[in-house]
Structure 1
């Protein structure tokens, strides 16, 4: 009778190097080789958006579209009370973005006019714990007003509840505010 398992514990089978070769070739064939000009342009675009290239490439690959801008929650911009303005460190980061749309979503009691400027536009955020349909409608209305396609916008958020907006509006992805504003 054989030992543990039915193959007598033998791990190596004939043809292992050939299977490894074929597997590596198949994986390499799945990855497209981009012309250097395309790679350079994408690296430059990542820099314009203030993102590391690896992050930019991951978001771009996940959405299938190039990124055109960011959607910020008032929490991510550190505006938590009525009358409060966006802190200077956040404003300076927003000013470094080139050819990027910026849209802010204001949680009550914050009003949208507290967030624009420094963002291009601002709207009211979905109510906390609102239904999925209502959340989606509010987000899509904000994106329509900003003339932005959802799959081309990245959400910069502070809470798990806000991170769910990515799925609700079918956004390109999300970044924690600490990561986005750290650079």
Structure 2
């Protein structure tokens, strides 16, 4: 057709050019806080930043102390950590050029971030903001459990959120009872 050898394309499939993706469910503020209450205190800030700032796992574990500016209430996303097939971690730029960005911190989570920086982040500008319980860097991929989603959406199956576990260590999996139980 583009070479003008035929008048119309005989290979037309009805509806083939359109993709219908269902709307992805999002969590409510109440559900983000419910999840933040179920994880160990050192991971609370990660849950809140994922929920309120929309940061991906790799971006969260790629943050350093210098990326979090509490005075101006911003987080600069400049790198992400990815898991390679050989089990190694790769520190790289975010997925797209738009991934390098500055995100505003809502005032409601500012006290949680202040506490997190004080208690759990290594000293100095390069301090990793998401080290594990033993001071090791966070795993490049999140651990999952079936109990976490039920903590957010009682009665549901599977897992939407991660428990932020570290490879080689076991973290307690906490569940909150379903509402009304």
TM-score (norm 1): 0.29
Largest Rg, 1 or 2: 1
Higher helix share: 1
TM-score (norm 2): 0.29
